[in-house]
Amino acid sequence: MLTAVVGINWGDEGKGRMVDLLSAEYDVICRYQGGNNAGHTVINDRGKFILNLLPSGILRDNVVNVMGNGMVIDLEHLCGEIASLRSKGVEITPERLKISDKAFICMPYHRQQDILEEERLAEKKYGSTRRGIAPVYGDKYMKKGLRMGDLLFPETLKNKVADIVEWKNITFSGYGQERLSVEAMVEWLKKYGEPLLPYITDTTEFLMSAKDEGKNIMFEAQLGALRDIDFGIYPYTTSSQTLAAYAPIGAGIPGVKLDKVIGIMKAYSTCVGEGPFTAELFGEEAVMLREAGAEYGAATGRPRRVGGFDIPASVYGVKLQGADVLALTKLDVLSYLDRIPVCVAYEIDGVRCEKFPVGDRLLRAKPVYEYLEGFKTNISHCRRPEELPKPALNYIKFLEEAVGCPIEYVSVGPGREDYIRMR
């Protein structure tokens, strides 16, 4: 079984939590794109974990975790993340963690460049996490990058670094910055690269062998469909492909086909960063929803923008992802509401629009809200559909019919076991 777990909306849908839950049924978990701009929160009997780079299956002792070639890896951050998990009793070995030799390295100058560009843009900024993701993906396609496999050949690494630094200094001079030091970059690579050497391998060979042996493999995405570089709300996107279709490519086995796509969406809408967010709520209504859901970015700590469930955006996301089934997260957060707001359509230039628009039309879109009956009770103890209050069941059914895809899982709390299987 080859399964992708992907986001339907703007990201922060709860993918890490679902991967952690479902990983009990899988042998291999593979992250296939993005970097430490991800913030996957997992709560289990060991405590609360925020994973930025490591796949969310790392908290399962019997699961092999793969960081695929489509990822960009900040060595310093990864070393820190591994050390943090080990301090909490999580065992991480080369047998349980494998890093693609083709994944690209996010260097200190990438982080610096990201910050400088966001500051230059000022009010026109894109809302970057400032972790160097766009610059490193840009360098990848400029063929000016370093890959994890380069760390295995220190005798040639310095020359590659020197060539790149010479080019980078042209960019940094334009920002009025001091020249980068080749020696400093080489030392950084040595300091944080050497501890990772045992984990670097040909993950394509590993994954193909696992597939041939009939192993269950899950592909874990970062962010959601609306942040995809090609099909998202450009330019307010991430710099990689967040769609399920890219999973085999970013994992390192481009010739295989997925058996199942599980789309993750919240019972309401959230967004971190700039750009259009049509369903956004404001004022006291927004404050109450943000606090009820503890909506602060796992990677950045920034307050998330919040709104009611957005049907046009979610229908678009479900189609982009090719979702077979859905998981609805954080239903319990809405228990304080007498009426649940749902954005059922947009209004653009005075005309009702039920399809997700692109380009400048999205900038002019205004939400059309309807309200459903709230359930006004604690549902965190519910473990079967019939235990949910009727208004909660009605809300689930309404969303299911609206987006045109069956909802298989519903989370009713933050813990690993706080969920209901609807089918």
* All structural domains of the chain: 104-196 (1.10.300.10), 265-421 (3.90.170.10)
Among residues 236, 405, 255, 411, the alpha carbon closest in space to that of 320 is found at 405
The answer on pLDDT for 378 being more than 80 is yes
Q: What is the pLDDT of residue 6?
A: 97
- What pairing do the DSSP bridges indicate for beta strands 64-67 and 40-44? unpaired
Average pLDDT, the chain: 93
| Rounded Cα distance, 406 and 326, in Å | 6
Q: What is the pLDDT, as a whole number, of residue 321?
A: 98
Q: Which two tokens stand for residue 31?
A: 């992250």
Q: Rounded mean pLDDT of 40-67?
A: 86
Catalytic annotation, pick one of 20, 40, 332, 418: 40
40 is catalytic: yes
Q: Is the pLDDT of residue 71 over 80?
A: yes
CA distances from 222 to 16, 32, 52, 63 (A): 9, 8, 9, 19
Q: Would you say the C-alpha torsion 293, 299, 304, 309 has a positive or negative sign?
A: negative
Helix axis angle for 133-141 and 108-121, nearest 10°, is: 110
* Least confident segment among 20-29, 116-125, 222-231, 255-264: 116-125
User: Two tokens at 209?
Assistant: 């062998």
- By the 10 Å C-beta count (0-12 exposed, 13-18 middle, 19+ buried), 421 is classed as exposed
Round to whole Å and give the CA distance between 304 and 273: 8
Is 70 exceeded by the pLDDT of residue 50?
Answer: yes
Tokens representing 137 are 């993906």
Given this model, what pLDDT does residue 125 score? 67
Two tokens at 69? 């070639």
Single pTM value for the model: 0.92
In the chain, % of residues over pLDDT 90: 80
When pLDDT is averaged across residues 230-257 and rounded to a whole number, the result is: 95
Question: Mean pLDDT throughout 36-57?
Answer: 82
- Give the pLDDT of residue 48: 83
Count of CB atoms situated within 10 Å of the CB of 397: 12
Q: pLDDT tens-digit profile of 249-271?
A: 999 999 999 999 999 999 999 99
**Both tokens assigned to 318:** 């479900």
How far is Cα 31 from Cα 252, in angstroms, rounded to an integer? 10
> What percent of the chain is predicted at pLDDT more than 70?
98
Q: Choosing from 12, 74, 310, 324, which is the catalytic residue?
A: 12
Tens digit of pLDDT for each residue in 279-302? 999 999 999 999 999 998 766 677
What confidence tier does 17 reach under pLDDT thresholds 50, 70, 90? confident
Closest CA to 97 of 30, 158, 46: 30
Per-residue pLDDT band for 208 (boundaries 50, 70, 90) equals very high
Q: Does residue 77 carry a catalytic annotation?
A: no
Q: Which residues contact 210 (CB under 8 A, 6 or more apart)?
A: 27, 28, 64, 217
- If pLDDT is split at 50, 70 and 90, which confidence band does 127 have? low
